[in-house]
Amino acid sequence: MRMNQGVEWAIHACALLAPLWPNKGLSLAALADYHGLPAPYMAKQMQLLSKAGLVRTSRGRSGGYALSRAPAEINLWQIARAIDGPEPAFRCSEIRQRGPCATPRDKCKQACPIAAAFAGAEAAWRSALEEVTLADVLGRVGEQSDPAQLLRSMAWLGEQVVEIGGG
Amino acid sequence: MRMNQGVEWAIHACALLAPLWPNKGLSLAALADYHGLPAPYMAKQMQLLSKAGLVRTSRGRSGGYALSRAPAEINLWQIARAIDGPEPAFRCSEIRQRGPCATPRDKCKQACPIAAAFAGAEAAWRSALEEVTLADVLGRVGEQSDPAQLLRSMAWLGEQVVEIGGG
């Protein structure tokens, strides 16, 4: 199985918006340029983030995107779900109800033990991602980064930043 | 993201082989029939399970598949990996090395914090599935099932079972 590649792009975009919260943001062009991605690729992710209520947008010449909540209140599971959809990776097709020894539908009130095991594994996956917020990501990036590199990024961001109303 | 549907088929097939371990098994036709699946669909999963060393096969008119280890020594993660492949669902494309503020490759010795968070979540998913063996699945199916239903399945299995050498 493979997660949509847009999850990576969306989380990086949100991490870049995190230090600009609450009133500032970046244009779509700046978000795409910073990550070396074509603007239509980035646009699709930003639309999905907006639909999920994780970013807000302002239109017009100086329009762009800003986070709609504090970085500590947005976690990686929320972003992954916004981009990759809410469906579980393992989807039980109830094959126990098929074939010559099929279990009748009315005897299948409990989840199949196989489906239950995968549901448990996906809950563990979700919990692990819920524990990591954009604030955590930002903190770890800061710890890992070369100070000169951080300054270059901050200078670039300073030139690109736009005011986003309604925060 | 969506896991290959064959994971469900393969685990059900292994669960059906579990009570027949160590010396007995089922033909491909019986495995497909029991689950109401076309034989080619089931054949593909059985080949992948065989390649991963989870089942063994005997050829010929009375040939078929048997588990190659005890049901308590085969877990759901091993089967899922055999069918769905070993690659992680989240694949980091190192976008931090792209764009106008790219981090130079030699400064990227530590995993990106975003990739590290997903690796942690996938490890939690894997651990949860590793904790569930075919013996566990069989026990839970037994607890859930109607005794009359179990007897029908056992009678069907009794007619289909084949000896598989080399166990």
- ipTM value: 0.94
Counting residues of chain A whose pLDDT is more than 90, the rounded percentage is: 76
Mean per-residue pLDDT for A65-71? 97
B87, A113, B74, B155 alpha-carbon torsion, rounded to 10°: -130
Residues of chain A contacting residue B126, judged by C-beta atoms under 8 Å apart: 121
Q: What pLDDT sits at residue A122?
A: 97
Paired with B58 in beta bridges are B64
Span of A27-36, A147-156, B56-65, B138-147 with lowest mean pLDDT? B56-65
Is residue B35, in this structure, part of any structural domain at all? yes
Q: What pLDDT sits at residue A145?
A: 87
Q: What pLDDT sits at residue B140?
A: 93
Q: What pLDDT sits at residue A115?
A: 96
List chain B residues with pLDDT less than 70. Answer: 166-167
Is residue A47, in this structure, part of any structural domain at all? yes
Residue A91 tokens, joined: 């989807």
Q: What pLDDT sits at residue A126?
A: 97
Q: What is the CA radius of gyration of chain B?
A: 20
Q: Is the pLDDT of residue A55 over 70?
A: yes
Residue B49 contacts A, CB cutoff 8 Å:
no
Residue A82 tokens, joined: 């916004």
Q: What is the CA radius of gyration of chain A?
A: 20
Is residue B56 a contact partner of residue B19, using CB atoms and an 8 Å limit? no
Paired with B57 in beta bridges are B65
Interface probe, candidates B78, B87, B91, B103, chain A, greatest A C-beta count within 10 A: B103
Indicate which CATH number applies to the domain containing A66.
Answer: 1.10.10.10
Q: Render pLDDT for A105-136 as a digit per residue (tens, 0 to 9).
A: 888 888 999 999 999 999 999 999 999 999 99
Mean pLDDT score of chain A: 93
Range of the domain at A140: 5-88+133-163
Q: What pLDDT sits at residue B74?
A: 98
Is residue A122, in this structure, part of any structural domain at all? no
Residue of B12, B21, B86, B10 lying closest to B50 (CA atoms): B10
Is residue B58, in this structure, part of any structural domain at all? yes
Q: Which residue does chain B place closest to A89, by CA atoms?
A: B2
Residue A15 pLDDT level (bands cut at 50, 70, 90)? very high
Residue B125 contacts A, CB cutoff 8 Å:
yes
Residue A149 contacts B, CB cutoff 8 Å:
yes
Q: What pLDDT sits at residue A167?
A: 53
Residue of A51, A6, A14 lying closest to A31 (CA atoms): A14
Is residue B117 a contact partner of residue A76, using CB atoms and an 8 Å limit? yes
Is residue B100, in this structure, part of any structural domain at all? no
Is residue B159, in this structure, part of any structural domain at all? yes
Among A89, A124, A140, select the one facing B124 at the smallest CB separation: A124
Distance of CA B15 to the CA centre of its chain: 10
Residue of B36, B35, B142, B134 lying closest to A117 (CA atoms): B134
Q: What pLDDT sits at residue A108?
A: 87
Show the beta-strand stretches assigned E in B23-85. Answer: 24-25, 55-58, 64-67
Q: Is the pLDDT of residue A166 over 70?
A: no
Among B5, B89, B124, select the one facing A2 at the smallest CB separation: B89
CB contact under 8 A, A36 and B101: no
Q: What pLDDT sits at residue B166?
A: 66
Q: Check residues A132 and A102 and name the one with the higher pLDDT.
A: A132
Q: What pLDDT sits at residue A73?
A: 98
Total domains in chain B come to 1
Residue A146 contacts B, CB cutoff 8 Å:
yes
Among B33, B107, B129, select the one facing A146 at the smallest CB separation: B107
